[in-house]
Amino acid sequence: MTWTCLLCQRENQPEEEACVECGVPRVLEAPGRRQRPRACVNVSPVELPGGFTLERPYYYVLCGLGLALLMHLLMCGVFDFGVQVFFHELGHAIVAWAFGMPSVPLPMFGFAISMPQFTLLALAIWGGLGYQAWQLRERSRRSAIALGVAAGVYPLLAFSGAAQALVSAGGHGGEVVFASLFLWRALEPRENRFREIDRALYSMMAWLLIMGNLSTFYRLATSRAEQHRYATQSVLGVGNDFMHISDYLGLRLGTVSFLFLVFIVSAVAATGCAWWWLRWRARERAPG
């Protein structure tokens, strides 16, 4: 009787101890509970020209880098600029909603429309955090603690000037977060619910956001000319994001840019380290 791989859903012969498609070891279903292997063990190599082989996660990360460079060259930077603007404005809108400010991202115009804070909406979000922390106190202690801390910190941020500063930081911060998520999907640390081509596309999006923001942060952190241009140009004439953050924190523009440079490097490194740790743990727990 054949058995189905829980990862890629391929039918395998009974004598096979591992999936012939993805290489994941055979996992038997325990009574009353279906076990799912982690895709970190799915590191079957890809054969390249010249007899070279490369493990699949690294292969798709490199494919994404190649696609990102190709799109940048073919479209003269227009495509990657559009990607950055889209997730930049989406980041502004998400953070604004999180603090009770209804917002609509308009990436085609290069800005997001945000309304003043609705106190009732912010209070509802605050209450929701506390309620979820209470509901999870027995089922997931870690989640309950995290939500409890978030509920404790939320009013200090939402009902102060920090909220608007965080909305401003949500633009470039959102790009960094989305880049990390896309890189995570390309490495595929858990169940494989995506086709192979999706992994290369996720990697491409991650590289476009990473390279674009690295360039922006580095130039603003090191070039006085870039800082002057950034401080004197604005889409709506209300100042750019880093200027608002600089005013709130009382820091220079170059310092804020350097902090974001450290942020993106740390986020990418943390994503890679988390994947390595999950992969190691999956291999340790894999049968045989």
pLDDT band at 34 (very low <50, low <70, confident <90, very high): very low
C-beta of residue 42 within 8 angstroms of C-beta of residue 196: no
Position 52 scores a pLDDT of 60
Domain boundaries, the chain: 1-37, 59-117+161-285
Confidence of residue 33 (pLDDT cuts 50, 70, 90): very low
Question: Mind giving me the DSSP string for 169-194?
Answer: HHHHHHHHHHHHHHHHHHH--S---S
* SS3 category, 161: coil
Could you tell me the pTM of the whole model? Answer: 0.80
Render pLDDT for 103-159 as a digit per residue (tens, 0 to 9): 999 888 888 888 999 999 999 999 999 999 999 888 888 899 999 999 999 999 999
How much is the mean pLDDT over the chain? Answer: 85
In 3D, which of 255, 261, 244, 260 has the Cα closest to residue 162? 244
pLDDT of residue 221: 96
Is the pLDDT confidence value at 31 over 70?
no
3-state secondary structure 200-250: HHHHHHHHHHHHHHHHHHHHHHHCHHHHHHHHHCCCCCCCCHHHHHHHHHC
Predicted pLDDT of residue 41: 46
CB 1 within 8 A of CB 28: no
Q: How confident is the model at residue 9 (pLDDT cuts 50, 70, 90)?
A: low
Per-residue pLDDT of 228-282, as tens digits, reads: 999 888 766 677 899 999 999 999 999 999 999 999 999 999 999 998 888 788 7
